[in-house]
Each structure stands twice: as structure tokens, then as C-alpha cells.
């Protein structure tokens, strides 16, 4: 198993998670690809997105079917400005590259928000450290494992 995926597996085990890391036959670097490979809806894919709130990184877990409203994130965090992190900032904050960022096992401690919209799904799939690894979870378990604060961050259509 890839060292990053092994780190995620260890975090899942130590956190008492019900799912294990699964290695896929093909890449799942985007929510659409992951949903297709897993045979689930895009809404069941938990995107782990890194943003910079003022000068600090924050992780936002959101449904693959949704976009994040930066103004809502700023309001929840009390930040003046929120922007999407660049690839170097993502790797520095999490220890993982875009396309495989998991909701756990980061190289630094990050504040985490989880979009309440994900709660509508009984089963959620999240990246596990590489574009080819994922794990199954639930909303409550994902929030607990990641230390996430529930928030409404979905951008309205």
C-alpha cells in the first residue's frame, strides 16, 4: 500500500472507523471519476478541499455534487477573506497532493468544516491519500474522525 494510504489506514484504525482503505483499479482523482468507479452518486463523494482563510489553511469537506461558497466559509470562520489553496499550499498543509487529499492523517492540524449537505447520504466515500485510494464512511463518523465542525457551506445554484 502507498505510504500515504497506509497513513490514512492507520488513522482510520486508531479512530475506530468502520471502513478500510480500498485501492481502485483506476484513478478517482475527481468526484465524478470516483463516483463512476465506485458505482455511487457524485453526491456521496466527500471532497476534501483546502482553502486559505486570511493566512491560515482550512479543510472543507463537501459533497462532490456541490461547490463551496467562500463567503459562507468566511462567515463561519470569522475570516476577512477566503481563497482556494494552490497545489503547494495543499501539500504543505496536508502532506498530500490534490486528487488524493483525505479528511484525516494530515501533516499539520487543520480546522475542518463538513458541509451539512453530506448528511443526506447514508454512505460516503472519501479519498485515502492517493488518487486511486478511497474509504467508506458515514457523515457522523467522518465528522468525528476529522474533528470537523458541521456548517452550511454549499453554494446555491
Q: How many CB atoms lie within 10 A of CB 1?
A: 14
* Structural domains in the chain, sorted by start: 3-151 (3.90.960.10)
Instruction: Give, as one character, the DSSP assignment of residue 116.
Output: G
Task: Give the pLDDT mean for 14-41.
Answer: 92
pTM check: above 0.85: yes
Q: With bands split at pLDDT 50, 70 and 90, how would you rate the model's confidence at 1?
A: confident
How far apart CA 151 and CA 60 sit, in angstroms, is: 9
Q: What is the mean pLDDT of residues 124-131?
A: 96
Q: Is the predicted pLDDT of residue 68 greater than 90, yes or no?
A: yes
Mean pLDDT of 114-121: 96
Amino acid at each position: 500500500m502507498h505510504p500515504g494510504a497506509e497513513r490514512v489506514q492507520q488513522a482510520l484504525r486508531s479512530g475506530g472507523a468502520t471502513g478500510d482503505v480500498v485501492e481502485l483499479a483506476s484513478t478517482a482523482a475527481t468526484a465524478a471519476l470516483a463516483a463512476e468507479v465506485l458505482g455511487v452518486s457524485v453526491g456521496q463523494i466527500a471532497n476534501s478541499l483546502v482553502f486559505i482563510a486570511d493566512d491560515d489553511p482550512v479543510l472543507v469537506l463537501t459533497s462532490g455534487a456541490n461547490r463551496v461558497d467562500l463567503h459562507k466559509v468566511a462567515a463561519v470562520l470569522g475570516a476577512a477573506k477566503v481563497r482556494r489553496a494552490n497545489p503547494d499550499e495543499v501539500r504543505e498543509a496536508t502532506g498530500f497532493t490534490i486528487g488524493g487529499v483525505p479528511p484525516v492523517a494530515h501533516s499539520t492540524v487543520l480546522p475542518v468544516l463538513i458541509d451539512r449537505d453530506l448528511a443526506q447520504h447514508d454512505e460516503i466515500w472519501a479519498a485515502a491519500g492517493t488518487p486511486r485510494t478511497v474509504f467508506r464512511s458515514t457523515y457522523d463518523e467522518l465528522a468525528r474522525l476529522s474533528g470537523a465542525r458541521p456548517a452550511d457551506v454549499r453554494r446555491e445554484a
